[in-house]
Chain A
Amino acid sequence: MQELKTEPTPAEIRAQKPYEAWGLSQREYDYISQKLIGRLPNYTETGLFAVMWSEHCSYKDSKPILRKFWNDGSRVIQGPGEGAGVLDIGDDQAVVFKAESHNHPSFVEPFEGAATGVGGIIRDIFSMGAKPIASLDSLRFGELDKPKNRYLLTECVAGIAAYGNCIGIPTVGGEIGFDAVYDGNPLVNVMCVGLMDQADLKRGRATGTGNSIIYVGAKTGRDGIHGATFASNEFSDEKAADRSAVQVGDPFMEKLLTDACLEIIHDHSEILMGIQDMGAAGLVSSSAEMASKAKSGVTMNLDLVPQREPGMSAYEIMLSESQERMLLCVKKGEEQTVLDIFARYDLDAVVVGHVTDERQYRLYQHGKLVTDVPVTSLVDDVVERKQPSKKPARLENVQSAQTPIVQQPAETLKALLAQPTIASKRAVFKQYDSQVQANTAVTPGSDAAVVRVRHTKKALAMTTDCNARYIYLDPYVGGQIAVSEAARNIVASGGIPIGITDCLNFGSPNDPESYWELDQSVQGIAQACERFDTPVISGNVSMYNETDGHSIYPTPMIGMVGLIEDVAQITTQSFKTAGDAVYLVGTTGDDFAGSELQKLRGQITPIGQLNFNLDAEAANQRLVQQAIRQGLLQSAHDLSEGGLGVALAEALFEYQLGFEGKTALTNSQLFSETQSRFIVSVQPKDQAEFEALAGKQAVLLGRTTDQDVVQLVTADGQLTASSSELKATFGGALGCLMK
C-alpha cells in the first residue's frame, strides 16, 4: 500500500509515536502490530485503532466492572450492546431508551456541546426503529456565584432548547445540581425515550454478503475529529482551545433524518438489514461495529462519502464526528427504493460500500487500498484492562455526621428552598418545549414526567436521579440510593419501575480510587436493580472527568422508566384540596450525612455515614403503589434533598394551599434526609382504608388548609411560615442566581 505523501510512513509512525497523543499506549500499538495485523499499521489505520481502542468506544477499562450489572428480566427485548435498550410494555409495543453524556464538549463549547448531546442520543433511539417521544437532561454545574458557571448553565440550557424544541421531541424532565466539584467539569447527560411496535425492531448489523452500505444525512466535515479520544482523556484548561473536537448540530437536518429513517423502517423493513448512528468515532465505529455484530466484513470507497470540503484525508473522513449521519445496510438490488426516499427529504444518501464474507475491514481512497485490517482487531480484540483499585482513604474511619441544631425551622426551610439544587428549575424548564406531540400528562417539576401512550390506556413515567454527595460518602450504598430514589419517583407518579439506563460519570480509571468508586457504585446499582426488577438495558461511561487533576464526585446518573398501566393512576406530587389528610410514609432518623442542610451549614464536602435498607425501601414503595392502585391517594411525593420540610412545602405550591399539623419529629429532623420516605395526601373519606393498608408504615402529619400558612408543631418547637412566601422563595431563587 502506498501512503499519501503528507502522512508519515508506518516506520515513521513507529519512530515518532503520534499514537500516544491519540491515546493508544505503546503496549497496545505493539500488540496490534505484532499479534493482530502482523505488520506496522499505516497512518489511517493507526488513527482508526486509536479511536476504536479508546475507552469511549471500547469500554476497555470499564467492561470488567460493567459485567456486574444486571440486565435480565422478563421485559428485556434488547439489552446493552445496541444503539439503545428495548423493553416490552405489552400490546406488542416496546419502550426504547438510553442516556449519554456530553460533558467535555459542553465545557469547551456549551451551546453546541449540549445541543449535539441531544442530537446524538435521539439517533440511537430511532436507529432501533422507535419514534423518540421524550427527552430528559441531567445537568451538574459548579456553584453559580462564579460567572463561568452561570455562562455554562445558560448556554447548555439554550443549546438543549434550540435542538430539542426544533426537532419536536418534548423535553419533559431531568434534574440540575450544583456543587463546586463540577467547576471546570460540568456534566451534561441526556436521556431519550422512544416508543415502537415490536415488529419494527432494527439492529446495527451489516448482514448478507453483497448487500450495500449506504451513507445517509449530513456531509462529512473536519469537525469532531478525535472527539472520542478527547472524551477519554483528562481535561486541562489548555485543551479548552481544542474546539475542533466539538461538533456543530443541525436539528432541522436531524428531524428530516429521523422522519426518513422511520419511514423506511415502517414501510420497507424487509430490505433494511441494519441501521446505526454515526456517533463517537463516526464512520469507522458504525461500520466496524455493524460488521463485527454481524460477523461479516465491509469494503468502502471513501471517494463516495459526501464531503463538506475538498482534500480530506482518509483519516479525517473516518474519524470525523460530523452530526446527523446514519449508516444503513440495504439488500442488494433494492438500494434505489431507499435512495428515492432520502431524495424526497432532500438528504444525501450514497452507496459507499458493501458487505463481504471475509471479516476484513477495507477502505479505498483515490483508487488505493488505505486500510486493510480484520474487523475483529478494531472491535472485538481490544484488550480489557482491569485497573488497580483502592478504597479511598476518606472512607476509612468515617466520622459520623453531627445533628445540626435548628432553632428557627422556618428560616432553615426558606434557606433550603433557595439552594439552587433544591429551588424550582422552572426558569430552565420553561425554555424547553415539554408538550409537543401532545402526549405529556405530567410536565417538568413533579417527581417523574409522564407521557401517555396514545390510543392505549398506558403511560410511561420517566426520571433521572443521582445524589453524588451520597456516592462520595459511600459509592455502594449511594448507588443503591440513586436507583431507589429513581424508583420512588416512578412509584409516586403511579408507575411500576421497569428498567434503567445510566451515565457513569467518574474520574480517571487510571486513578485506583476512582476505579474503586466505579466498581462499588456499579455493584450497589446492580443490587438495587435486581431488587426492583429494573434491568440495566443501556448506558454510557464517562471517565476522565477531571480538570487539572481535580476530580468530580462520582456521579452515576440513573435514568429510569416506569409503566403506568392505566392513565387513571397518574399521580402528582401536589396536594389537591384543603381538608385532605397528609401522611408521612417511612420512618425518620437523624440522617444528615451528605444532606443539603449539612452543606448549608458550611460542610461543603459531605461527611458522615449513610443509613439505608433496601427492604424498608421496597416495602414503602409497595405501600404507595398499592394505595395508588386502590385509588386512595390524592398526591404522592418522594422525600429527597431537604427532607420532609422541603417536600411538604413543594406539595403546597401548585394549588396554593396551607398546612396545619403536628409531629413527634424534632426541628432538625424536618430536614433529615432519611431514605425510603414519601409524603402522601388522602381524602377524609379514604383515611380509614388507607390507615388499615399502611399500618405502622405511615403516620398522620396533619391536614391541608385554604389558609396561606404552614404550621407544623414539632417535638421541640414549631415551624410557622407563609405558604406564598415559601413559594416565592422557591420559585425565584434560581432565576436570581442565573442573572
Chain B
Amino acid sequence: MKFAVVSFPGSNCDEDLYYAITDDLHEDATIVPHTTTDLTEFDVILIPGGFSYGDYLRGGAIAKFAPVMAAVKAFAQAGKPVLGICNGFQILTEAGLLPGTLQHNRQMRFICEPEPLLVENSQTMFTAAFQDQQQITLPIAHGEGNYYCDDATLAKLRDRHQIAFTYQHNPNGSVSDIAGITNEAGNVLGMMPHPERAVEAIQGGTDGLLVFKSLLQAHLRTV
C-alpha cells in the first residue's frame, strides 16, 4: 500500500508520519513536495502537521494555494482517502475539503498534552479498527485547534455521522468537543490530535497506530 506524505515548506510532522507508516505499519511511504502535481500513483494522501509557510496569517491559509492542492482535491474527488492531521486538518478546511474552521484555542495558548478522546464513528475507513465509543488517548499539539462551524453545519455533521473523534475534556473550546471530522463521503478525515505520535509504546501509547491500520484494512478490502 502506498502512502504519500505531502510536505509543504514549514511542515514539521512529515518525517514522523513517514516513519509511522514505514517503521510501524510496515507499508510504503513517500514524502512528496508541495510542487507535486500528480498523486495518482498513491493509495492514501497524508497531510502532516507543522506550520506551513510559517502560518503567520492563519493555519493553512497559504498552503491551500500550493501547486499540490489541485492534485489533492482530484484525489479526494475520486473517493480515495485523504487524512489531514493538525496543520493538515487546517489546510483541508481552508481548501474547502472539510466544513468549518479552526480558530485559536480558547485560552489563546499552544497546548501540548496527551488527550483522552472518544471514537464517535468506527464505520469510516480511518476508524474501522476501533470500537464505537472506544476511549483512546492521543497527543495534541496546537495553537489553533478550536473547531468552529455554524449550527446548521453541526446538525449536518451529526446527521451524517461525520464526527469521527471527540475530546473527553475539551481542551481548546471546539464546538461540540469535536477533535476530528470526515467529509460527507467519508473519504477525507481531518483531526487535530496526532496519531503518528502514538504508534510505539516508547512514545507513551499505541492508539494512533489503529488509524493507519484502519486505512490498511480498508485498502486490503478493495484490492
**Interface residues in chain A, defined as those with a beta carbon under 8 Å from any beta carbon in chain B:** 158, 161, 165-168, 250-253, 255-256, 345-346, 429-441, 443, 452, 454-455, 567, 570
Would A431 and B53 be within 8 Å (CB), given that A438-B20, A567-B202 are in contact? no
A-B pair number, CB within 8 angstroms = 84
Instruction: Find the A residue at minimum CB distance from B50.
Output: A168
User: How many angstroms between the C-alpha atoms of A167 and B50 in the bound complex?
Assistant: 8
User: How many angstroms between the C-alpha atoms of A168 and B15 in the bound complex?
Assistant: 11
| Smallest CB separation, B32 vs chain A (Å) | 14
User: How many angstroms between the C-alpha atoms of A432 and B50 in the bound complex?
Assistant: 13
| Smallest CB separation, B53 vs chain A (Å) | 7
| Smallest CB separation, B194 vs chain A (Å) | 7
Would A432 and B112 be within 8 Å (CB), given that A165-B143, A252-B54 are in contact? yes
* Contact call B141/A346, Cβ cutoff below 8 A: no
Would A435 and B9 be within 8 Å (CB), given that A251-B51, A430-B112 are in contact? no
Complex interface: chain B residues within 8 A of A434 (CB): 112
- Selected A-B contacts with CB under 8 Å, 22 pairs: A165-B51, A165-B112, A165-B143, A166-B55, A168-B12, A168-B13, A252-B10, A252-B56, A256-B9, A345-B9, A432-B110, A433-B112, A435-B141, A436-B16, A436-B49, A438-B13, A438-B16, A438-B196, A439-B203, A443-B204, A567-B202, A570-B202
**Interface residues in chain B, defined as those with a beta carbon under 8 Å from any beta carbon in chain A:** 9-10, 12-13, 15-16, 19-20, 23, 49-51, 53-56, 109-113, 139, 141, 143, 194, 196-197, 199, 202-204
* Contact call A435/B12, Cβ cutoff below 8 A: no
| Smallest CB separation, A367 vs chain B (Å) | 37
| Smallest CB separation, A260 vs chain B (Å) | 11
B interface SS class = mixed
* Contact call A255/B10, Cβ cutoff below 8 A: yes
| Smallest CB separation, B31 vs chain A (Å) | 12
Contact of A438 among B10, B19, B54, B109 (CB under 8 A): B19
Instruction: Find the B residue at minimum CB distance from A164.
Output: B110
Complex interface: chain B residues within 8 A of A168 (CB): 12-13, 50-51
User: How many angstroms between the C-alpha atoms of A10 and B41 in the bound complex?
Assistant: 68
- List the 8 closest A-B pairs by CB distance, nearest first: A168-B12, A252-B54, A438-B16, A166-B51, A433-B141, A431-B110, A433-B112, A441-B202
* Contact call B53/A252, Cβ cutoff below 8 A: yes
A interface SS class = loop
Complex interface: chain A residues within 8 A of B203 (CB): 435, 438-441
Complex interface: chain A residues within 8 A of B113 (CB): 430
| Smallest CB separation, B5 vs chain A (Å) | 13
Complex interface: chain A residues within 8 A of B13 (CB): 168, 436, 438
* Contact call A430/B111, Cβ cutoff below 8 A: yes
* Contact call B112/A435, Cβ cutoff below 8 A: yes
13 additional A-B residue pairs with CB within 8 Å, beyond A168-B13, A168-B50: A165-B51, A165-B141, A166-B54, A166-B55, A167-B12, A252-B10, A252-B56, A253-B54, A255-B12, A430-B112, A438-B20, A440-B203, A454-B19
User: How many angstroms between the C-alpha atoms of A251 and B109 in the bound complex?
Assistant: 18
Contact of B15 among A161, A437, A455 (CB under 8 A): A437
User: How many angstroms between the C-alpha atoms of A250 and B13 in the bound complex?
Assistant: 19
User: How many angstroms between the C-alpha atoms of A236 and B204 in the bound complex?
Assistant: 47
User: How many angstroms between the C-alpha atoms of A434 and B110 in the bound complex?
Assistant: 11
Would A250 and B12 be within 8 Å (CB), given that A430-B113, A452-B202 are in contact? no
* Contact call B10/A166, Cβ cutoff below 8 A: yes
* Contact call B110/A165, Cβ cutoff below 8 A: yes
Instruction: Find the B residue at minimum CB distance from A253.
Output: B54
* Contact call A436/B12, Cβ cutoff below 8 A: yes
User: How many angstroms between the C-alpha atoms of A430 and B111 in the bound complex?
Assistant: 5
User: How many angstroms between the C-alpha atoms of A436 and B143 in the bound complex?
Assistant: 14
User: How many angstroms between the C-alpha atoms of A506 and B104 in the bound complex?
Assistant: 40
* Contact call B53/A436, Cβ cutoff below 8 A: no
Complex interface: chain B residues within 8 A of A431 (CB): 109-112
Contact of B9 among A346, A439, A570 (CB under 8 A): A346
Contact of A252 among B9, B23, B49 (CB under 8 A): B9
Complex interface: chain B residues within 8 A of A570 (CB): 202
User: How many angstroms between the C-alpha atoms of A565 and B126 in the bound complex?
Assistant: 37
Instruction: Find the B residue at minimum CB distance from A158.
Output: B109
Central interface residue in B53, B112, B202, by most chain A CB within 10 Å: B112
